[in-house]
């Protein structure tokens, strides 16, 4: 058990590598990449040692090992955090460090170390991928949801930095997305998912008071969560567990690029290929699936609750949806990107219908062969001097034999070539589970729906894999680059071969008992022994074998038999016509989001800014101020000099007459000045009113400052400079005061 | 009483101001270095204060009470507790950094500059330490006048308008507060804040006399809300920040905004607890609007400094949300831990925002010194030419958008954790602010300034990476961002005891 | 009350009278000897020193008691307080005018004599408790003020200001006199205590009520004229702008303090039964005075005119104190302390204005541009005095305002307090408009502004007092409390 | 036959108002001075009437009237001096034209 005390070291090694590179080793390229590879190498060794000790400790599943410490105070309780190891973590520890190591070694070659056009920010690249490795390893080992969320976001940061690694890159055609925009898009979309997950986490934390998995998945907590009801405004009353599960699933949708937040993954291909392999195939995107697997007891808390439907639907639909788009893509990396989305859909669907073991198994096998495929495509791109369009490739079989054979191994694993590839076993188990569920619950049920979609998706996967192989490797080279393609150096091909080995052999770890007779399905026993083993269903296995082979054959038939000549359009275009253009443009989701969400946010921002600057707060003051000005100028005109004298004299004479018992009769000028007085006031007020209407736009605060100034100017006019007017005002005031008193 | 630590920290800047005043105007270099060295002493003392503050004892420590104006029962009563210790430290840290930074950037009227700065520093210390209403009000206003001159004399283009707008806004708020202070005085019989916390709601229970107590509460609230600034009273902030000199806007954003929030936590919440919880929904709405509205308006800005100013409105919205949640919880039984967490989050956000936005304004100043323009469209591709500047700006930017592992995340997490449990709808709407914040920081700042291609013809040889003094100014702040991000307990412990004690009393 | 005792009690007034006459005599003797005439201001200061000593001796002698002299006047703490202020004002104005008057008029001697007589007028007004003596002392102060305002015969503005001030003052004092005669008619006596006694038995109240209110309003006209409250304020802007600046300084503080003293005595001692009426009257007038004073001050271009409107506004604030004479007399304390603080703040401000006009000869606000660079001392002083007039803490004005608003809150007149507070903010706008010119704008000419030594001393004294009271107001509030306790209803 | 007090008061009030009108309406400064004198004399009538009818045993009324007369004399002396000063510098005593200080 000693090994488990070193658990917390695993994420620490790459982090020290990151810190050392950033602080010190930046200028020295050789030092920085060796530091990075050294760091991940140590984690890999420690990881595998932990994995094997875990495998050999008897019934390891019951009591996961936890090392915790108090992190920060919350009211009078403390929030503990720490690392944890249980079967799911163990198998991830087996896969993640190894794949990362392979990709680190690969990227030394890919980034052109030793050649003249080596990337100027070479060491920064290794710093970022080491930080990413820390994030991924930390995520696997976290024993509570908060620490998981923290590493989750650190990975988001690294994916942003790495996608936008070549931020100076500009494309002639404005519509094509540049790395920096792709990075931003990735960060914001995943951030939306993260916020939804944060809300779920907060809801859980406020209800349970603790985020550690052990505490959450204890029976009484799960029972409490399942019982408690919460009413949401539009949705109605739901069990709390379902709401939390769906919210947390939102995070997984964002991170694993499931429909509807899938748009960022294909654009993430703008980043260097090792990044696509590392982040957007093997590890980060599978973190979403890992999260759902980790929270599986919560998902299963409410039997047949709506959350099962949501997860299964999203998974299955994405699987089919993505595979249809993959068929119509010409860029070698885009095809793989969509195939990743579709394979992730597979795993999510599997977890949706309760196939915990099958989902986890497929997660592991998929990481291996998808990483292999991406690295293969990377070496093809380097071989063809950064050519990415499959239409310009062809005939690389002779020129790049190792890449060809490893790529074929990965492709066959992806399409599930029967018996020898890992993909076949893991995908088959999911289909078997779906089939068995379908048998139990009949046609109108999620398992049937999932089985149907996944079967079609399986065929399409095999088809586009076949298409991809024949387009890139078979036939004649269709462009200048393709002719001069050359095999990539050993630092790139060795990882390919190692990954190919695993892509083929890993399946045997999860072969159902019935086939090998005596032994038991090791993977199932180790990971999910509390779940019932899925019985072997021969028809399903046959069906998936047939699908895989026919898909591949059909792909070869269309593209391989009569290899396309240079510049010859894709035969599928003619076959599918308008449907093809829709598929090519990814169902126009990018344009849809751009128009609605992005334009909407910027529009709202413009609106608020105007609101703030010109429309309400400041402007409201000026508007009413303008209105005030009109009123005051109306008053001014009413009070202007000739009128003042008239009025003042009028008041004076009337006042005096009163005081001399009214014997001095009011003379003629008084009457006409009174008449035009009334006329002029009316005109002024109307002019004032339309002024207010016209200039309602300006703000309130300046108005108060401004209005006082206007009133000040108006009162100032009463100070006419003539002492008799002053004396008159005194007399008038006295009379007024006494009158007020009398009337009171 | 022992060594009057607080009084020494409080009046040290005044002593410094007098000494600077004696130095003849011509010896600018002497003035600069003297005030930098001078500002280290209160920094050292406030660090000592932090260490010497025994957390277990809790409550007010280092209290000093002298009779100032016995005839009106006004006393010189200073003391610090868990909430004010970090803020006092923040004041000293940001002031020292500002002194250090201005030594290299302020060229005209150096002597007056440092005079006003030291007076401002004294004002800020006074507010965080005083436990007597009149003393609190006196230092609140003392902090106002030097800031007016700092913006007015050393500011940008529209500095006069910004200066007088700042002064008028804050004066209206504080004058309303004066009347409320007098009202409390006549009811409690003395100007002492602690005494008022115990006695006021017994003498004037909210239920019995709703109108006068509400009036007094709203007078206090408006006075503090203008300073925070929360939504309707925020229009002075963008002008004041964009026009203030770099060091001025660092202090303005770093500490002056905290005076309002601190006032709410120290005065409005404890004394008017029933009134505050009765009106907590209004405060909550204002807070949420500030968060979302502020974030969206940031999205539409093209002037970098104005953008960061508006981001302060949005970030201070979190503080208000935390306080509103804590107030709301007073009426809900059984929500003590969530209220404590929300209040912890609010006070931590005050500290974080000071560090992060202070850093952001320094960075704006650095680029402005070289480029003399803050137009976002003018820059591009700086990442390749100014790597360290890009690195530090990215870290500060990410801290501000609340990336976990950096300071910003913890405060937001705690505020939302508390708020979610008490007022879920507000928290959900507020969460939209997080996404938009990520949006405007990455899209507007990182995208336009750092990524993309570097236009040679305009900035050819002109832009050079950060000078050593700029790095030295930024490193302590970046260090704090990481420290709080990785292990927030060292500051949250302090806050936690104070907030739980404060909430327990209500 | 032996003659000696009475004379002893009246010693401050007598010293002032003797001083005035002495200066007149000396002026006649040294009629054509300019050299000797330079000594006159310093002799005046000696006379004022003597009066100061007399006030302190008498005040300590009183020991809080009141010695009424022949129902004509009360020698009590209030009288001594205002007399002390009168002496201080006269002393400072003499200091201001040494430089100012030298070049402008041959008759320097009489100027100081009139100042002493005006101070005497103020002292008498403060002590008077009989309508007759009130009228005489008001007229003494008015006449001397008319002469002082028109002292620069050659200057058109000074003449015009004087004639307008005279005509306005004469009409209003006639109205006041008419009111006094009505009071005499109703109560049969001119002694305030007799009037109060007459009104104390309810029988007398019934049908005469409106006549009493009319008389009160008329009486208030005369006093309102003196303190420049709104309906009776229109003389102030023109007189302040026209009069020579030292005289404006005197006008802005001297008569105002005396006016308030008389108002206090008449209302508190004379008409306690009508408290409800005059409180409402004062509150209304206070609101109008504050608002109009501040609002019109915003648009002023000439600094003396701006200070005129600002002093009208200050009268408004003091009236709040009078309108809220509630229990434990915060109002009285506020009025007294505010008057004292206003004295030093306003005179300090005038020291700056005088120093500036001596050097540049202009009173326009634009010309104050870049004052900080030209003379940091004047600029610093200006800021301190403006802060005090607005009532911002480090300065004494703050505690004046605190007491005034305390009285308003104490008597639950929240609206009055709110308006007072808002006016404070408006006043900040125009005061700091001048500060804006001084600090933010570049100077028109770079020439530094030399301040005469005695002006510099006066400026320093005022700044010291304003900041001193601001930081340690305890003794001064105690002083105001002592005086107020005596008068309390 | 004793003339009732009211009649005196009415005469005094009428005289006061005529004086007031004179002060307000006349253009000439001297005219205004005359008006003011009228007002003061009206007050004297008032005082003496009150002395005679209300409190004959105390001489306050008469004393007050005498004081008013002396003070009025002093006031007019100063007033005339000021009017002459204005006349000398502006050679006009028309009050309407003396409005240099305004606003």
Three-class DSSP labels, chain C: CCHHHHHHHCHHHHHHHHHHHHHHHHHHHCCCCHHHHCHHHHHHHHHHHHHHHHHHHHHHHHCCCCEEECCCEEECHHHHHHHHHHHHHHHHHHHHHHHHHHHHCCCHHHHHHHHHHHHHHHHHHHHECEHHHHHHHHHHHHHHHHHHHCCCCCCHHHHHHHHHHHHHHHHHHHHHHHHHHHHHHHHCCCEHHHHHHHHHCHHHHCCCHHHHHHHHHHHHHHHHHHHCCHHHCCHHHHHHHHCCHHHHHHHHHHHHHHHHHHHHHHHHHHCHHHHHHHHHHHHHHHHHHHHHHHHHHHCCCEHHHHHHHHHHHHHHHHHHHHHCCCHHHHHHHHHHHHHHHHHHHHHHHHHHHHHHHHHHCCCECHHHCCHHHHCHHHHHHHHHHHHHHHCCCCCCHHHHHHHHHHHHHHCCCHHHHHHHHHHHHHHHHHHHHHHHHHHHCCCCCCCCCCCCHHHHHHHHHHHHHHHHHHHCCHHHHHHHHHHHHHHCC
| A652 contacts on D by Cβ (under 8 Å) | 24-25
**CATH code of the domain occupying D5-90:** 1.10.287.3510
Give the separation between CA B18 and CA B11, rounded to whole angstroms.
11
Cβ–Cβ below 8 Å for A723 and D95: yes
| Mutation for testing the D interface, residue in C181, C236, C296 having most D CBs under 10 Å | C181
Count the Cβ atoms, other than its own, within 10 Å of residue C63: 7
More confident residue, D63 or A392: D63
Distance from CA of B344 to the nearest CA of A (A): 8
Average pLDDT of the segment spanning A588-597: 83
Question: Cα separations (Å) of C160 from C311, D30, D97?
Answer: 21, 15, 10
Query: Using CB atoms, which residue from A168, A191, A602 is nearest to B453?
Result: A168
Spatial CB neighbours of B360, under 8 Å, sequence gap ≥ 6: B253, B308, B311, B396, B397, B400
Q: Is B290 on the interface with A (CB under 8 A)?
A: no
Closest CA to A201 of A261, A141, A147, A157: A147
The answer to whether residue A687 scores a pLDDT higher than 60 is: no
Cβ–Cβ below 8 Å for C160 and D101: yes
Count the Cβ atoms, other than its own, within 10 Å of residue A117: 7
Touching D: A residues 682-721, CB under 8 Å: 716-717, 719-721
The tens digit of pLDDT for each residue in A315-324 reads: 889 998 888 8
Instruction: Give the lowest-confidence range in A90-99, B82-91, C15-24, C202-211.
Output: C202-211
Cβ–Cβ below 8 Å for D50 and C161: no
Q: Is the peptide bond before A260 cis (omega within 30 degrees of 0)?
A: yes
Spatial CB neighbours of A342, under 8 Å, sequence gap ≥ 6: A318, A319, A320, A321, A322, A323, A326, A457, A460, A461
| Token pair in block for residue A435 | 């089939």
Confidence class of residue C133 from pLDDT cuts 50, 70 and 90? very high
The tens digit of pLDDT for each residue in A205-254 reads: 888 888 888 888 888 888 888 888 887 777 778 888 888 888 999 989 98
The answer to whether residue A668 scores a pLDDT higher than 60 is: no
| Mutation for testing the C interface, residue in A713, A732, A736, A737 having most C CBs under 10 Å | A737
What is the reported pLDDT for A605? 84
| A77 contacts on B by Cβ (under 8 Å) | 337
| C132 contacts on D by Cβ (under 8 Å) | 60, 63-64, 67
What is the reported pLDDT for A622? 52
Average pLDDT of the segment spanning A723-735: 86
Count the Cβ atoms, other than its own, within 10 Å of residue B379: 22
Average pLDDT of the segment spanning C447-475: 90
- In the block, residue with structure tokens 């334009």: A599
| Token pair in block for residue B68 | 């100032």
What is the reported pLDDT for A447? 78
Q: Is A473 exposed, middle or buried (0-12, 13-18, 19+ CB in 10 A)?
A: buried
The tens digit of pLDDT for each residue in A469-489 reads: 888 888 787 777 777 777 778
Touching A: B residues 376-435, CB under 8 Å: 381, 383-384, 391, 398, 403-405, 409-410, 413-414, 416-417, 420-421, 424, 427-428, 431-432, 434-435
Q: Which chains touch C (3 or more CB pairs under 8 A)?
A: A, B, D
Question: Cα separations (Å) of C239 from A311, A572, B88, C162?
Answer: 87, 99, 52, 7
More confident residue, A516 or A57: A57
What is the reported pLDDT for A504? 84
Domain ranges across chain C: 284-489
8 Å CB contact between C430 and C300:
yes
Three-class DSSP labels, A563-611: CCCCCCCCHHHHHHCHHHHHHHCHHHHHHHHHHHHHHHHHHHHHHHHHH
Report which secondary-structure segment, H or E, holds B327: helix B304-330
Taking any CB pair shorter than 8 Å as contact, residues of chain D touching chain C are 9, 16, 19-20, 23, 29, 32-33, 36, 39-40, 42-43, 46-47, 49-50, 54-55, 58, 60-61, 63-64, 67-68, 71, 74-75, 78-79, 82-83, 85-86, 89-90, 95, 98, 100-103
Q: What does R_g of chain A's alpha carbons equal in angstroms?
A: 37
The tens digit of pLDDT for each residue in A88-124 reads: 888 888 888 888 988 888 888 888 777 777 777 888 8
A281-299: b (≥16 Cβ within 10 Å) or e: bbbbbbbbbbbbbbbbbbb
Over chain B (506 residues), what is each successive 10-residue block's mean pLDDT? 82 92 86 89 92 82 88 90 92 93 86 92 93 93 92 87 89 92 90 89 82 91 91 85 90 92 92 90 92 88 90 93 91 84 92 93 90 84 84 91 87 90 88 88 86 78 83 91 88 87 82
Which stretches of A400-537 are DSSP H helices? Answer: 401-415, 422-441, 446-473, 480-483, 490-505, 513-516, 522-527
The answer to whether residue A150 scores a pLDDT higher than 70 is: yes
The answer to whether residue D35 scores a pLDDT higher than 90 is: yes
More confident residue, B436 or A672: B436
More confident residue, A644 or A141: A141
Average pLDDT of the segment spanning A597-602: 84
- In the block, residue with structure tokens 């104490």: C410
More confident residue, C120 or A398: C120
Cβ–Cβ below 8 Å for C157 and D101: yes
DSSP state of A509: G
Instruction: Give the lowest-confidence range in A70-74, A721-725, B399-403.
Output: A70-74
Which stretches of B64-109 are DSSP H helices? Answer: 84-105
More confident residue, A439 or B368: B368
CA angle, A65 as apex, A60 and A66 as ends, to 5°? Answer: 160
- Give the residue from chain B lying closest to C384, CA to CA: B145
Domain ranges across chain D: 5-90
What is the reported pLDDT for C488? 62
Cβ–Cβ below 8 Å for B496 and A617: no
Average pLDDT of the segment spanning A643-662: 44
Touching A: C residues 420-439, CB under 8 Å: 426, 429
Q: Roughly what angle, to the nearest 10 degrees, separates helices A446-473 and A306-327?
A: 20
| C298 contacts on B by Cβ (under 8 Å) | none
- Give the residue from chain A lying closest to D20, CA to CA: A656
Confidence class of residue C403 from pLDDT cuts 50, 70 and 90? very high
What is the reported pLDDT for A309? 84
8 Å CB contact between A394 and A528:
no
- Give the residue from chain A lying closest to B172, CA to CA: A701
Distance from CA of C185 to the nearest CA of D (A): 5
Distance from CA of B300 to the nearest CA of A (A): 5
Query: Using CB atoms, which residue from B340, B413, B438 is nearest to A191?
Result: B438
Give the separation between CA B342 and CA B321, rounded to whole angstroms.
8
Distance from CA of B314 to the nearest CA of C (A): 28
Question: Cα separations (Å) of A481 from A381, A391, A501, C213?
Answer: 10, 12, 30, 109
The answer to whether residue A675 scores a pLDDT higher than 50 is: no
Question: Cα separations (Å) of B133 from B119, B267, C254, C274, C402?
Answer: 20, 9, 35, 37, 12
Give the separation between CA A376 and CA A493, rounded to whole angstroms.
8
Distance from CA of C295 to the nearest CA of A (A): 5
Cβ–Cβ below 8 Å for C402 and B185: no
Distance from CA of C19 to the nearest CA of A (A): 35
* ipTM rounded to 2 decimals: 0.81
| Mutation for testing the D interface, residue in A723, A726, A732 having most D CBs under 10 Å | A723
The answer to whether residue A676 scores a pLDDT higher than 50 is: no
Three-class DSSP labels, B116-184: HHHHHHHHHHHHHHECEHHHHHHHHHHCHHHHHHHHHHHCCCCHHHHHHHHHHHHHHHHHHHHHHHHHH
pTM of full prediction above 0.90? no
What is the reported pLDDT for B321? 93
What is the reported pLDDT for A711? 79
What is the reported pLDDT for A60? 67
Spatial CB neighbours of A402, under 8 Å, sequence gap ≥ 6: A487, A493, A496, A497
Cβ–Cβ below 8 Å for B142 and C394: yes
Average pLDDT of the segment spanning C399-422: 91
The answer to whether residue C455 scores a pLDDT higher than 80 is: yes
Cβ–Cβ below 8 Å for B447 and A180: yes
The answer to whether residue A677 scores a pLDDT higher than 60 is: no
Spatial CB neighbours of A641, under 8 Å, sequence gap ≥ 6: none
Q: Is A150 on the interface with B (CB under 8 A)?
A: yes
- Give percent of chain C above pLDDT 70: 98
| Mutation for testing the D interface, residue in C71, C137, C167 having most D CBs under 10 Å | C167
Give the separation between CA A413 and CA A391, rounded to whole angstroms.
24
- In the block, residue with structure tokens 């009055």: C416
Q: Is B217 on the interface with C (CB under 8 A)?
A: no
Distance from CA of A31 to the nearest CA of B (A): 20
The answer to whether residue C181 scores a pLDDT higher than 90 is: yes
Confidence class of residue A616 from pLDDT cuts 50, 70 and 90? very low
The tens digit of pLDDT for each residue in C290-333 reads: 999 998 888 888 999 999 999 999 999 999 999 988 767 788 89
Contact call for B and A: 3+ CB–CB distances under 8 Å:
yes
Give the separation between CA C21 and CA C32, rounded to whole angstroms.
19
Pairing, β A77-85 against β B74-80? unpaired
Residue A718 phi/psi, 5-degree rounding, is -70, -20
Q: Where are the beta strands (DSSP E) in A145-302?
A: 229-232, 236-239
What is the reported pLDDT for A71? 77
- Give percent of chain A above pLDDT 90: 2
Query: Using CB atoms, which residue from B134, B171, B183 is nearest to C428?
Result: B171
Average model confidence (pLDDT) across chain C:
89
What is the reported pLDDT for A670? 41
The answer to whether residue C473 scores a pLDDT higher than 70 is: yes
Query: Using CB atoms, which residue from C210, C231, C429 is nearest to A733?
Result: C231
What is the reported pLDDT for A661? 34
What is the reported pLDDT for A509? 75
What is the reported pLDDT for D27? 87
Distance from CA of C212 to the nearest CA of D (A): 15
- Give percent of chain A above pLDDT 70: 83
| Mutation for testing the B interface, residue in C387, C406, C477, C481 having most B CBs under 10 Å | C406
The answer to whether residue A628 scores a pLDDT higher than 50 is: no
């Amino acid at each position: 058990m000693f090994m488990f005390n070193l658990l917390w070291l695993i994420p620490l090694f790459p982090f020290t590598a990151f810190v050392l590179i950033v602080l010190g080793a930046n200028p020295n390229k050789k030092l920085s990449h060796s530091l990075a590879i050294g760091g991940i190498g140590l984690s890999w060794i420690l990881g595998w040692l932990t994995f094997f000790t875990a495998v050999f400790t008897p019934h390891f599943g019951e009591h996961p090992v936890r090392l915790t410490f108090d992190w920060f105070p919350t009211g009078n309780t403390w929030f503990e955090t720490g690392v944890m190891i249980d079967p799911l973590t163990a198998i991830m520890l087996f896969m993640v460090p190894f794949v990362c190591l392979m990709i680190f070694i690969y990227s030394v070659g890919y980034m052109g170390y030793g050649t003249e056009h080596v990337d100027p920010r070479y060491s920064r690249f290794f710093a970022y991928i080491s930080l990413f490795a820390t994030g991924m390893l930390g995520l696997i080992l976290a024993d509570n949801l908060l620490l998981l969320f923290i590493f989750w976001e650190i990975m988001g940061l690294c994916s942003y930095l790495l996608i936008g690694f070549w931020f100076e890159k500009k494309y002639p055609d404005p519509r094509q997305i540049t790395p920096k925009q792709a990075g931003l898009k990735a960060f914001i979309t995943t951030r939306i998912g993260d916020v939804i997950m944060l809300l779920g986490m907060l809801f859980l934390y406020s209800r349970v008071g603790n985020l550690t998995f052990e505490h959450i998945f204890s029976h009484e907590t799960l029972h409490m969560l399942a019982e408690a009801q919460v009413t949401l405004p539009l949705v109605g009353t739901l069990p709390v567990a379902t709401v939390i599960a769906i919210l947390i699933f939102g995070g997984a949708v964002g991170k694993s690029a499931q429909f509807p937040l899938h748009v960022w993954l294909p654009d993430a291909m703008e980043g260097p290929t090792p990044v696509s392999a590392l982040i957007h195939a093997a590890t980060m995107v599978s973190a979403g699936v890992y999260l759902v697997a980790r929270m599986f007891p919560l998902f299963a808390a409410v039997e047949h609750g709506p959350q099962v439907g949501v997860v299964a639907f999203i998974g299955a639909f994405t699987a089919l949806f993505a595979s249809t788009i993959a068929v119509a893509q010409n860029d070698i990396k885009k095809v793989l990107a969509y195939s990743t989305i579709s394979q992730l859909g597979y795993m999510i669907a599997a977890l949706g219908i309760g196939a915990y073991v099958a989902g986890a198994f497929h997660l592991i096998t998929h990481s291996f062969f998808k990483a292999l495929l991406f690295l293969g495509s990377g070496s093809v791109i380097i071989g063809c001097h950064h050519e990415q369009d499959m239409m310009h490739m062809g005939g690389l079989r002779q020129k790049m034999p190792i890449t060809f054979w490893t790529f074929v191994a990965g492709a066959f694993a992806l399409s599930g070539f029967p018996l020898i590839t890992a993909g076949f076993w893991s995908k088959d188990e999911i289909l078997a589970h779906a089939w068995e569920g379908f048998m139990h619950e009949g046609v109108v049920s999620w398992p049937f729906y999932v089985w149907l979609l996944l079967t079609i998706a399986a065929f399409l996967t095999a088809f586009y894999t076949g298409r991809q192989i024949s387009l890139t490797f078979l036939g004649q080279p269709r462009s200048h680059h393709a002719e001069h393609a050359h095999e990539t150096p050993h630092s790139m091909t060795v990882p390919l071969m190692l990954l190919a080995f695993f892509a083929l052999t890993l399946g045997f770890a999860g072969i159902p008992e019935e086939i090998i007779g005596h032994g038991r399905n090791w993977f199932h026993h180790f990971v999910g022994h509390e779940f019932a083993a899925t019985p072997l269903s021969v028809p399903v296995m046959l069906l998936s074998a047939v699908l895989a082979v026919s898909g591949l054959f059909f792909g070869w038939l269309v593209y391989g038999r009569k290899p396309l000549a240079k510049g010859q359009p894709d035969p599928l275009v003619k076959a599918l016509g308008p449907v093809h253009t829709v598929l090519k443009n990814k169902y126009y989701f990018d344009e849809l989001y751009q128009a609605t969400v992005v334009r909407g946010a910027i529009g709202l921002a413009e609106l608020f800014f105007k609101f703030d600057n010109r429309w309400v707060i400041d402007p409201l003051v000026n508007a009413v101020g303008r209105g005030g000005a009109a009123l005051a100028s109306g008053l001014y005109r009413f009070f202007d000099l000739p009128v003042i004298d008239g009025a003042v004299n009028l008041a004076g004479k009337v006042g005096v007459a009163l005081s001399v018992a009214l014997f001095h009769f009011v003379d003629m000028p008084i009457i006409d000045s009174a008449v035009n007085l009334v006329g002029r006031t009316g005109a002024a007020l109307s002019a004032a009113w339309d002024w207010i209407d016209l200039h309602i736009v300006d703000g309130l605060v300046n108005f108060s400052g401004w209005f006082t100034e206007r009133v000040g100017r108006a009162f100032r006019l009463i100070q006419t400079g003539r002492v008799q007017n002053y004396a008159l005002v005194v007399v008038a005031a006295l009379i007024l005061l006494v009158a007020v008193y009398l009337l009171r | 009483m022992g060594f009057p630590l607080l009084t020494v920290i409080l009046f040290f800047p005044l002593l410094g101001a007098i000494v600077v005043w004696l130095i003849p105007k011509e010896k600018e270099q002497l003035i600069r270095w003297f005030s930098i060295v001078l500002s280290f002493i209160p920094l050292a003392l406030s660090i000592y204060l932090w260490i010497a503050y025994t957390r277990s004892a809790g409550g007010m420590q280092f209290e000093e009470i002298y009779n100032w104006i016995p005839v009106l029962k006004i006393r010189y009563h200073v003391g610090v507790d868990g909430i004010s210790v970090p803020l006092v430290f923040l004041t000293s840290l940001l002031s020292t950094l500002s002194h250090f930074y201005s030594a290299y950037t302020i060229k005209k009227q150096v002597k007056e500059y440092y005079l006003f700065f030291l007076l401002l520093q004294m004002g800020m210390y006074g507010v965080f330490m005083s436990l007597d209403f009149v003393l609190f009000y006196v230092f609140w206003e003392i902090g106002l006048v030097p800031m007016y001159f700092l913006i007015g004399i050393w500011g940008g283009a529209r500095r006069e308008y910004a200066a007088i707008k700042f002064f008028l806004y804050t004066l209206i708020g504080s004058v309303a507060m004066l009347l409320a202070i007098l009202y409390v005085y006549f009811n409690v019989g003395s100007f002492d804040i602690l005494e008022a916390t115990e006695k006021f709601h017994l003498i004037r229970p909210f239920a019995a006399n709703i109108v006068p107590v509400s009036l007094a509460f709203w007078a206090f609230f408006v006075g503090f809300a203008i300073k925070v600034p929360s939504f309707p009273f925020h229009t002075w902030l963008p002008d004041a920040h964009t026009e203030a000199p770099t060091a001025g806007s660092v202090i303005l954003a770093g500490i002056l905004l905290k005076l309002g929030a601190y006032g709410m936590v120290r005065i409005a919440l404890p004394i008017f607890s029933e009134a505050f919880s009765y009106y907590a929904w209004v405060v909550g709405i204002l807070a949420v609007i500030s968060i979302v509205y502020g974030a969206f308006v940031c999205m539409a800005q093209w002037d970098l400094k104005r953008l960061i100013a508006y981001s302060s409105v949005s970030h201070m919205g979190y503080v208000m949300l935390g306080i509103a949640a804590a107030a709301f919880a007073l009426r809900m039984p059984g929500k003590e831990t969530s209220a404590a967490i929300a209040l912890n989050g609010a006070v931590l956000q005050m500290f974080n925002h000071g560090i992060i936005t202070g850093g952001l304004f320094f960075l704006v100043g650095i680029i402005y010194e070289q480029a003399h323009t803050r137009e976002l469209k003018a820059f591009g591709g700086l990442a390749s030419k100014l790597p360290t500047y890009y690195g530090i700006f990215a870290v500060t930017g990410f801290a501000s958008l609340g990336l976990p592992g950096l300071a910003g995340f913890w405060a937001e997490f705690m505020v939302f954790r508390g708020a979610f449990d008490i007022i879920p709808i507000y928290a959900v709407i507020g969460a939209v602010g997080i996404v938009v914040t990520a949006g405007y920081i990455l899209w507007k700042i990182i995208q336009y300034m750092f990524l993309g291609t570097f236009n040679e013809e305009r900035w050819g040889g002109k832009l050079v990476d950060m000078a050593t003094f700029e790095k030295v100014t930024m490193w302590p702040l970046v260090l704090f961002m990481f420290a709080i991000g990785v292990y927030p307990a060292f500051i949250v412990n302090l806050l936690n005891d104070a907030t739980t004690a404060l909430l327990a009393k209500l | 009350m032996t003659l000696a005792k009475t004379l002893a009690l009246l010693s401050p007034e007598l010293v002032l009278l003797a001083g005035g006459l002495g200066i007149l005599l000396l002026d006649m003797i040294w009629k054509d000897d300019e050299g000797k005439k330079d000594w006159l201001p310093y002799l005046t200061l000696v006379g004022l020193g003597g009066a100061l000593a007399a006030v302190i001796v008498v005040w300590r002698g009183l020991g809080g008691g009141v010695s009424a002299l022949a129902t004509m006047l009360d020698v009590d703490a209030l009288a001594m307080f205002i007399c002390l202020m009168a002496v201080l004002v006269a002393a400072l104005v003499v200091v201001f005018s040494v430089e100012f008057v030298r070049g402008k008029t041959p008759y320097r001697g009489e100027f100081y004599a009139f100042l002493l007589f005006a101070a005497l007028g103020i002292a008498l007004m403060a002590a008077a408790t009989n309508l007759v003596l009130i009228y005489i002392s008001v007229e003494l102060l008015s006449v001397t003020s008319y002469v002082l305002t028109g002292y620069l015969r050659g200057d058109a503005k000074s003449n015009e200001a004087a004639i307008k001030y005279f005509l306005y003052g004469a009409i209003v004092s006639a109205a006041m006199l008419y009111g006094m005669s009505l009071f005499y008619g109703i109560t049969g006596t001119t002694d305030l205590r007799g009037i109060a006694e007459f009104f104390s038995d309810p029988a007398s109240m019934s049908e005469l009520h409106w006549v009493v209110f009319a008389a009160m309003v008329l009486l208030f006209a005369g006093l309102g004229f003196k303190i420049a409250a709104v309906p009776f304020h229109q003389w102030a802007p023109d007189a302040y702008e026209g009069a020579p600046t030292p005289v404006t300084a005197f006008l802005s503080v001297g008569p105002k303090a005396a006016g308030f003293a008389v108002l206090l005595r008449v209302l508190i001692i004379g008409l306690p039964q009508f408290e409800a009426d005059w409180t409402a009257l004062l509150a209304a007038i206070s609101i109008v005075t504050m608002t109009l004073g501040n609002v019109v001050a915003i648009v002023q271009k000439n600094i003396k005119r701006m200070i005129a409107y600002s002093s009208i506004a200050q009268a408004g604030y003091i009236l709040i104190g009078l309108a809220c004479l509630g229990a434990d007399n915060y109002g009285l304390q506020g009025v007294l302390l505010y008057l004292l603080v206003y004295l030093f703040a306003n005179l300090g401000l005038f020291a700056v204005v005088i120093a500036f006009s001596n050097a540049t000869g202009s009173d326009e606000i634009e010309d104050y541009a870049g004052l900080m660079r030209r003379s940091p001392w004047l600029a610093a002083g200006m800021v301190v005095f403006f802060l005090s007039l607005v009532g911002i803490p480090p300065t004494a004005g703050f505690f004046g305002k605190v007491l005034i608003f305390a009285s308003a809150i104490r008597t639950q007149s929240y609206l009055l307090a709110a308006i007072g507070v808002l006016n404070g903010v408006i006043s900040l706008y125009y005061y700091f408009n001048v500060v804006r010119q001084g600090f933010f704008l570049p100077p028109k000419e770079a020439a530094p502004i030399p301040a005469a030594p005695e002006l510099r001393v006066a400026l320093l004294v005022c700044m010291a007092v304003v900041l001193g009271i601001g930081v340690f107001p305890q003794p001064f509030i105690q002083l105001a409390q002592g005086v107020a306790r005596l008068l309390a209803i | 036959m004793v003339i009732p007090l009211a009649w005196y008061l009415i005469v005094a009030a009428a005289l006061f108002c005529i004086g007031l009108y004179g002060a307000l309406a006349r253009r000439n400064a001297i005219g205004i001075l005359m008006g003011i004198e009228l007002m003061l004399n009206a007050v004297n009538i008032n005082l003496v009437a009150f002395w005679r009818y209300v409190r004959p045993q105390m001489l306050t009324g008469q004393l007050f009237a005498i004081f008013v007369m002396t003070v009025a004399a002093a006031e007019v002396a100063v007033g005339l001096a000021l009017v002459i000063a204005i006349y000398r510098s502006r050679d006009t005593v028309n009050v309407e034209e003396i409005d240099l200080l305004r606003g």
